[in-house]
Amino acid sequence: MAGQEHVVSMEALFSREASKTSSSVTEDSETNSISSETTTLEAKIKTVMEARKNVTLSPAPKIQKVIFLLRDNKDFNIHYEPRAVSLGPIHHGNEKYKLGEKYKLVLAYEFVEGSEEKINDLFKKIKEKIKELKECFEEEVIKSYDDEDLIWLLLVDDRFDDLNIKPDSIAFTQQDLFLLENQLPYRLLKWLMGWSKNEADLKKSVIVYINRHVTVPLPEDQLPVFSCKWLSSLSWTWSHCHCQSSNILRLLLWCPCWQQAEIGKEESDYCSTVVIGNGNGDPIHLLDLLRTCLLGKPQRRNNRKKPNENVQTWQSYRNVQELRAAGIHVERSKKKESCLSDISLTKFGCLGYLWLPPISVDDSTKPKFLNLIAYEMCLDFKNDFGITSYISFLDSLIDESGDVKMLRKAGILYNCLGSDDEVAQVFNEIGTDLVPNIKIYSDVKSQIQDLYRKQCRTWIAQFFHDHFSSPWTFLAFVGAFLALILAIIQTNYAVNSPPGPCDNFCKNFTRN
């Protein structure tokens, strides 16, 4: 019995000790769990608090890859990747650009005039600026390059004077210069131009090259009055002459004041000013320079709405053809130097005239505008989405080939691509899934919508279009109208005129 009691007491002891141990383990586990949760929560809170520090916007947008939202595009490599030559670090080393690398070395040789001393000197100068140049790129795109490799890459990649290799190579290379992922810092171009003895010629070559993509010449067969609808000319003249006496005289004499040089004169050297330097900072890269010159001066934007006013965000019209049916005609802007933001609407009686800047459409149009839109979508680029808004507005006017035909006949759109169907397809594809700035062109959209809603004017507008398409038909109408009025007056006078001396004489004569 004593042995059994001893066993029982030992079992109880072990049981109590086990219970204590189990309780201790549980408490420790709970304590560790609470401590772990606390640590995890603190870490998460710390991560949130430090997130803003890790995402610091730079004062200027950096050279970077196209935003992830666009990278799923099935034709991404066609529109966003270089075809002939790689510039900068993003596509450097790709096997398909091996031939372009050879040409770049040849052009670099020409730039230094075959002098080892000059190329060594340029290398040292770029090395002194490398820290500043690295800040122009997003960290991800240059992390695999050491400073020496990056300096050499930037030195060899810059040559913008002449590309007299082969016409087809030049064409593809020119398209590659305006790809977002194929950019070099403009400040590097500026330094290289400044270090060259041909600085003036190099700056001129940049101006000429950019203007080639911005300026659309007036057709030789487009005479001031006879090729343009004279009513639209009067509408433009009236709205831009501010009712000064001398300009009213021109209006009455049908002397179009748009031929005077003062219209658009202030914009004529805008691109040159940006290239040479205007005190407002240099462009970020060539694509940024192209965007600036395409949009023109910021104060030229069509946005006169006050912040508290309603902004036109919808439209019931579908395309140019529907606007024409409602009495709204599209016309080419008559400014000497017109930019993409120069869109306005004028009214002349029951008619409306939508003034649009001219644009050329060729094989480079789609990738060029897609990359400009991609640039505006960069998260570190604070902008007003001017190009996106323009393309969205133009896409709202173009639905099919008939719309392209009307824009082409008006001298607004130059089709260097092929059929009108192809051009319509280009703008429909570029205009897909765009998020424009609703404030830009809001006043124009409101005016268009207001005119379009007033369908009672449609038949009057159509009458004017059918019968007053030239000043001669208008003169003929006025002449016929005056002749009719004179005939009515003469008839009325003959029937209701008071008796004169001859009438009295005849009356007395017949009595006798």
The reply to whether 501 falls in a domain is: yes
- CA separation (Å) from 278 to 270, 272, 301? 9, 9, 19
User: What is the band of 340 on the pLDDT scale with cuts at 50, 70, 90?
Assistant: very high
- Residue whose pair of structure tokens reads 């050329």 in the numeric block: 360
Contacts of 462 (CB under 8 A, 6+ apart): 325, 327
Question: CA–CA separation, 324 vs 328, rounded Å?
Answer: 5
Residues 95 and 123 grouped into a single domain:
yes
* pLDDT of residue 79 exceeding 60: yes
Q: Can you give the pLDDT at residue 489?
A: 79
Residues 456 and 371 grouped into a single domain:
yes
Closest CA to 245 of 257, 228, 233, 261: 257
Of 390 and 38, the structure prediction assigns the larger pLDDT to: 390
Of 15 and 391, the structure prediction assigns the larger pLDDT to: 391
Q: Can you give the pLDDT at residue 326?
A: 82
* 3-state DSSP assignment of residue 245: helix
Q: Can you give the pLDDT at residue 218?
A: 67
* pLDDT of residue 499 exceeding 80: no
Distance of CA 195 to the CA centre of its chain: 33
Q: Hey, what are 177's tokens?
A: 């210069």
User: What is the band of 327 on the pLDDT scale with cuts at 50, 70, 90?
Assistant: confident
Q: Hey, what are 181's tokens?
A: 């992922």
The reply to whether 228 falls in a domain is: no
Closest CA to 72 of 479, 489, 432, 417: 432
User: Of 197, 214, 245, which marks where a domain is finished?
Assistant: 197
The reply to whether 282 falls in a domain is: no
User: Of 197, 215, 236, which marks where a domain is finished?
Assistant: 197
446-478 per-position pLDDT tens digit: 888 888 777 545 555 556 666 566 666 667 777
Region 200-226 average pLDDT: 74
For 428, other C-beta atoms within 10 Å of its C-beta total 13
DSSP letters, 368-404, are HHHHHHHHHT-TT-----HHHHHHHHHHHH-SSHHHH
* pLDDT of residue 422 exceeding 80: yes
Contacts of 150 (CB under 8 A, 6+ apart): 89, 130, 133, 134, 142
Residues 486 and 378 grouped into a single domain:
no
- CA separation (Å) from 432 to 122, 358, 371, 429? 45, 22, 14, 5
Residues 462 and 490 grouped into a single domain:
no
Residues 306 and 436 grouped into a single domain:
yes
Share of the chain above pLDDT 90, in %: 34
* pLDDT of residue 148 exceeding 90: yes
- CA separation (Å) from 77 to 44, 140, 430? 39, 20, 15
Q: Is 53 in contact with 62 (CB distance < 8 Å)?
A: no
Q: What angle do CA 47, 53, 56 make, to 5 degrees?
A: 135
Of 10 and 135, the structure prediction assigns the larger pLDDT to: 135
* 3-state DSSP assignment of residue 168: helix
Q: Can you give the pLDDT at residue 398?
A: 95
Q: Can you give the pLDDT at residue 2?
A: 43
299-320 per-position pLDDT tens digit: 544 444 454 455 555 666 779 9
User: What is the band of 128 on the pLDDT scale with cuts at 50, 70, 90?
Assistant: very high
Q: What are phi and psi of 161, to 5 degrees?
A: -80, -75
234-281 per-position pLDDT tens digit: 444 445 444 443 333 333 333 333 333 333 444 446 777 777 665 457
The reply to whether 258 falls in a domain is: no
Closest CA to 276 of 160, 194, 157: 194
Residues 432 and 318 grouped into a single domain:
yes
* pLDDT of residue 375 exceeding 90: yes
Of 261 and 147, the structure prediction assigns the larger pLDDT to: 147
Domain count, the chain: 4
Q: Can you give the pLDDT at residue 140?
A: 92
Q: Is 410 in contact with 330 (CB distance < 8 Å)?
A: yes
Q: Can you give the pLDDT at residue 277?
A: 63
Q: Is 323 in contact with 354 (CB distance < 8 Å)?
A: yes
Closest CA to 275 of 198, 190, 338, 339: 190
Of 350 and 37, the structure prediction assigns the larger pLDDT to: 350
User: Of 197, 226, 260, which marks where a domain is finished?
Assistant: 197
| Strands (DSSP E) found in 157-249 | none
> How buried is 307 (Cβ within 10 angstroms: 0-12 exposed, 13-18 middle, 19+ buried)?
exposed
Q: Is 154 in contact with 128 (CB distance < 8 Å)?
A: no
Question: CA–CA separation, 374 vs 388, rounded Å?
Answer: 9
The range of the structural domain enclosing residue 176 comes to 68-197
* 3-state DSSP assignment of residue 211: helix
Residues 308 and 448 grouped into a single domain:
yes
Q: What angle do CA 188, 83, 186 make, to 5 degrees?
A: 15
Residues 390 and 417 grouped into a single domain:
yes
Q: Is 340 in contact with 317 (CB distance < 8 Å)?
A: no
Residues 309 and 454 grouped into a single domain:
yes
Q: Output the pTM of the full model.
A: 0.73
96-121 per-position pLDDT tens digit: 888 888 878 888 888 888 889 999 99
Contacts of 283 (CB under 8 A, 6+ apart): 186, 274, 289, 292
Question: CA–CA separation, 482 vs 485, rounded Å?
Answer: 5
